Amino acid sequence: MQRKAFLAVVAMLAMLGGCAQRDPNLVVRGLGEFSRSAGDYTVRVNVYDLDEKGRPRLVAKDDPSMRGFVTRTLEGRGYVMKSAGPARYALEVDLLCGNMRNADMGLMSEELRVPAESVGPGYSTDVHYWLPDKGLGADSRETQDLRNSMLTRHHSANTERGASSNRGGAPFGSQTPDFCQGRVLVTLTPAGPGSQREVFVGRAATDDCPAAPNCPVNVCRTSIEHELVDMLQNRF
């Protein structure tokens, strides 16, 4: 009984915390809705993997190789990158590689979020997450992965075998996941007067990358590059 009461309190606090973080002056739109003219911009490209607890871990801050793909793609469309100072647009790119069935989706939200400390003052729970992509259907691979992640974690928490077996579907005792996958999050924030902030958001997932223990970023790097360039060319 005490355990149930404790869980109820934790759940309530989590819900209240989520509501407290919402910004009434924030307007979130899809990247495909962006229709403004080209201009100068600042860019940050961070790369993450999943740690042993399934939480995003920063492995490359402002990755120069990935940033090069962004700047070269946008240069052909008339955008000019600025290294510092005010610009017409602020572009943020957060790239993740991991076994998504191992991802820690949180107690209540079932979302895989970008670490707040990696974003800074502009962080928003309505913007900075890779999973789930709410535009995907109920039978999508992403939705299936989310369900599998939740079921596997529940099993692991309640049986001794779950703690020693795999969490991603690989053969029992194996540390190699059945697949690795890349995730792309792009946010574009136009500069403007007033308190209202408009953010255009795009999310994408790669096809399965080669399976590898702990899914290091390099196993999905090429696929992530392709998804990132495709997003900037076709949805921006």
Confidence of residue 149 (pLDDT cuts 50, 70, 90): very low
Note the pLDDT tens digit of each residue in 80-134: 999 888 999 999 999 999 998 888 887 766 789 999 999 998 899 999 999 986 5
Per-residue pLDDT, averaged over 187-212, amounts to: 91
What is the residue-averaged pLDDT of the chain? 78
DSSP 166: -
Torsion angle, alpha carbons of 89, 131, 134, 137, to 10: 130
* Inter-residue contact 16 to 9 (CB < 8 Å): no
Rg (CA), the chain: 19
> Is a pLDDT exceeding 80 seen at residue 157?
no
> Is a pLDDT exceeding 90 seen at residue 73?
yes
> Is a pLDDT exceeding 90 seen at residue 37?
yes
The CA distances from residue 66 to 12, 46, 92, 224, in Å, are 40, 9, 12, 9
> Is a pLDDT exceeding 70 seen at residue 140?
no
> Is a pLDDT exceeding 70 seen at residue 40?
yes
Picking from 36-45, 75-84, 110-119, 141-150, which range would have the lowest pLDDT averaged per residue? 141-150
In the numeric block, which tokens belong to residue 101? 């069935």
> Is a pLDDT exceeding 50 seen at residue 234?
yes
Question: What is the C-alpha separation between 25 and 17, in angstroms, rounded?
Answer: 18
Confidence of residue 9 (pLDDT cuts 50, 70, 90): very low
Collapsing DSSP states into helix, strand and coil, what is residue 41?
strand
* Inter-residue contact 114 to 128 (CB < 8 Å): yes
What are the E-state strand segments in 51-116?
56-60, 80-81, 89-98, 112-113
> Is a pLDDT exceeding 60 seen at residue 17?
no
Q: Taking the domains of the chain in order of start, what are their residue ranges?
A: 25-234
Q: Number of helices (H) and strands (E) in the chain: give both, helices first.
A: 6, 9
Picking from 57-66, 179-188, 192-201, which range would have the lowest pLDDT averaged per residue? 192-201
Q: Higher pLDDT residue, 28 or 149?
A: 28
Identify residue 212 by its one-letter amino acid code.
A
**What's the pLDDT at 32?**
92
